[in-house]
Amino acid sequence: MEHIQPRYIFKICLIGSGGVGKTCIARRLCFNTFNAKTQLTVGIDFYTYDIPVVVKGDEVFARLSIWDFGGQEQFKTLFSYYVNGANGIFLVFDLLNMETLIKLDWWYDNLTNFNVHDRPKTLIGTKHDLVQGVDKKFKVDKFIIEQFLQKHNEKDFVKTSSKENRNIIYCFKEMTKKIMQSHNLDYDKFP
């Protein structure tokens, strides 16, 4: 089988607290699998996904190098290494756990400290499949999500479900578009 080289290679980082579903997002995208009993990531895991893109009439692809960072406290010392060279960043929190959104402030502040705050970012709320029918007091309030976005001057927020495969490929296509636009790379469309 002919080995086709990617036209572009982009590093995308998934950041957020442990247990919010970062690994489930990566595995759903790359392997189309879901395991509710996914173990917490120790350190950093790497995934690769090739996303087709039409550039000047040619279908080529962008290779996404997806960096899945363990969200527990002990891994924070690796953060500068982890985000170095990132082209796009997903800020991930659990729609049923307010603390995971609040803790994103630390991660967000450190993007500035390590000089990657200008990279395209998207806020992702996970586990949308579990939100239906749950008592309102257990859900992260829409107003608080909007406050987070305003505070950090961000506008892109997507609700996902790795279990139901909701908005997973959409997030990565949109991020790839944002990365290409930020580097002034022309494209016709994403098939």
Encoded amino acid at 62, one letter: A
Let me know if residue 61 belongs to a domain: yes
What pLDDT digit, counting tens, does each position of 102-135 carry?
999 988 888 888 888 899 999 999 999 998 878 8
Q: How far apart are the first and last CA of the chain?
A: 23
What pLDDT digit, counting tens, does each position of 48-65 carry?
999 999 999 999 999 999
Question: Which pLDDT belongs to residue 42?
Answer: 78
Which pLDDT band, with edges at 50, 70 and 90, does 1 fall under? very low
Let me know if residue 13 belongs to a domain: yes
Question: Which pLDDT belongs to residue 170?
Answer: 97
Question: In which domain, by residue range, is 96 found?
Answer: 8-182
Look at residue 75 and tell me whether its pLDDT is greater than 70: no
Let me know if residue 42 belongs to a domain: yes
Let me know if residue 188 belongs to a domain: no
Let me know if residue 190 belongs to a domain: no
Give the percent of the chain with pLDDT over 70.
96
Let me know if residue 1 belongs to a domain: no
Distance of CA 87 to the CA centre of its chain: 11
Query: How many independent structural domains does the chain possess?
Result: 1
Q: Are 149 and 125 in contact (CB under 8 A)?
A: no
Strands, DSSP E only, in 56-180?
58-69, 88-94, 121-126, 157-159
CATH number at residue 12: 3.40.50.300
Let me know if residue 187 belongs to a domain: no
C-alpha 160/C-alpha 142 separation (Å) is 15
Encoded tokens for 139? 């859900």
17 contacts: CB under 8 Å, gap ≥ 6: 71, 93, 94, 97, 99, 100, 103, 104
Mean of the per-residue pLDDT values for the chain? 91
